[in-house]
Amino acid sequence: MSEKHESHETSETEYKGSKNPFVAWVNADPTPEEAPWTEEKLEALRAGETYVREEKPVITEEERARRFNKVYKPLAVVLCCAFIALLVFVCLYTPPFGATDVPTNNEVSFKYIEDGLADTGATNVVAGMILDYRAFDTLGESSVLFTAVMSVMILLRKDRDGSLVNDPAEDAALAKEEKISVQHRDVILRTMAGIISPFVILFGIYVVLNGHISPGGGFSGGAIIGAGLILISQGFGSAKTKKFFNFKVFTIITSCSLLSYAALKCYSFYTGSHHIETGIPHGIPGAILSSGFILPLNIFVGLIVACTMFGFYSLFTKGEI
C-alpha cells in the first residue's frame, strides 16, 4: 500500500503544473474545505469558545438493513403473489393440452411431419427439423454457447503470467487442494469413474452419431460427452484430462466446428428459405450414412457442446482449461 502511495506521489509532482481539469480534480484534496466564515462562527470565536459543527444523526449499517428488511419482505411477498395471480389468470385462457384447434397446430407441423422424411432423409423428424429446415437457428444456438464460454473465459480465466488479478493465497489453496486430492484419492469416486465414464462417453458418441435416426442429437450427445469428461477429471485429476484436452485443443475444436457448421449452412444467408440442391444423396432412411448434411452437422454441434460443458467446468474449478 505504501509503495503504491509513493509511486503515486511522484506522478503527482509531475502533474502538479498540469492545467488538465481532470488531473486537477484527481489531485484536489478530497475533504471539502471548512465552511466559510459565518456570523455564528465568528461570534463563537469572539466569545472564546471553540466552534463545534452540528452533526447529523448517523444511520448505522444495521439500522439501514433493518429498515430495508422491514419493507423488502412484505413487498416481495405481495409482488410475488401478484405475479403468480397474473400468470394463473393468463393460463386460464390458454387452450387445453392436446387441443386440435389451436393456432400453433397449422400447416407447418403437418409439412414437417409428412414431408420430413422425403425432404431430409432423417427418420428422426426433430433432427430433420432443427438441422435441415431450421439449421440456421441451430447455428445461432451454437454461437450463443460459444459466446457464453468466451464470456466465462473473460470473467474467470487467470492471467498467463499470473500477475494482474490472481490472488496468491487462492492459488496456494488450490495447489494444496490439488496435491491432497492427488495423494488421497476418493476410492469410491475413482472406481466408479473408471467403470462408468467410458460407457458415458461411448453413449454420448452413440447419441451424436445416431442423431438422425434415433432420439437425441448433437446437443444431448455433446452434453453427455461433456459430463463424462467432467467425471474423468473429477475421478483422476485434471492432469489426466490435460494430456488430451488443453486450451489449444479446446480453441481448435470449438472454432473449427463452428466455422465448418457455418460453411455448410451459410448459404441460408443468401437464399433465405429456399434450398440449394446439395447433390448429396439422402441414402436409405435409417442407415447411419444417410440424410445429407445432418450427420456432420450433428457431429459439429456435439463437439461444440462437449467442449463448452467441459470448458465451463474447468474454468469454474481452476480458472484455466
What does the binding site for other proteins look like in residue numbers (CB under 8 A)? 126, 207, 215-217, 219-220, 223-224, 226-227, 230, 309, 312-313, 316-317
Least spacing, CB of residue 217 vs other proteins, in Å: 6
User: Least distance (Å) from other proteins to the CB of residue 116?
Assistant: 15
Residue carrying C-alpha cell 448505522: 60
Alpha-carbon distance of 164 to 157, in angstroms, equals 12
Q: Cβ atoms within 10 A of the Cβ of 296, count?
A: 15
Work out how close the CB of 309 gets to other proteins at its nearest, in angstroms, rounded to a whole number.
5
State the minimum distance, in angstroms, from the CB of residue 211 to other proteins. Answer: 9
User: For residue 22, what is its C-alpha cell?
Assistant: 481532470
Looking at beta carbons only, is 162 or 215 nearer to other proteins?
A: 215
Q: Quick one: 44 or 223, whose CB is closer to other proteins?
A: 223
DSSP 71-103: HHHHHHHHHHHHHHHHHHHHHTTSPPTT-SSST
Shortest separation between residue 316's beta carbon and other proteins, angstroms = 4
Amino acid at 154: I
Least separation, in Å, of the C-beta of 276 and other proteins? 27
Q: How far is the CB of 2 from other proteins (least distance, A)?
A: 19
136 or 206: CB nearest other proteins:
206
Q: Which is nearer to other proteins, 116 or 217 (CB)?
A: 217
Separation of alpha carbons 149 and 94, rounded Å: 37
Burial-class residue 67 by CB neighbours within 10 Å (0-12, 13-18, 19+).
Answer: exposed
275 exposed, middle or buried (CB, 10 Å; 0-12, 13-18, 19+)? exposed
User: In terms of CB distance, is 300 or 313 closer to other proteins?
Assistant: 313
* DSSP at 167: -
Nearer to other proteins, 194 or 215 (CB): 215
CB of 252 to other proteins, least distance (A): 22
Nearer to other proteins, 220 or 268 (CB): 220
Nearest to 307 by CA among 261, 260, 254, 247: 254
Q: Are 149 and 311 in contact (CB under 8 A)?
A: yes
Cα(220)–Cα(186) distance, integer angstroms:
29
Taking alpha carbons only, the member of 205, 316, 307 closest to residue 246 is 307
By beta-carbon proximity to other proteins, the closer residue of 127 and 139 is 127
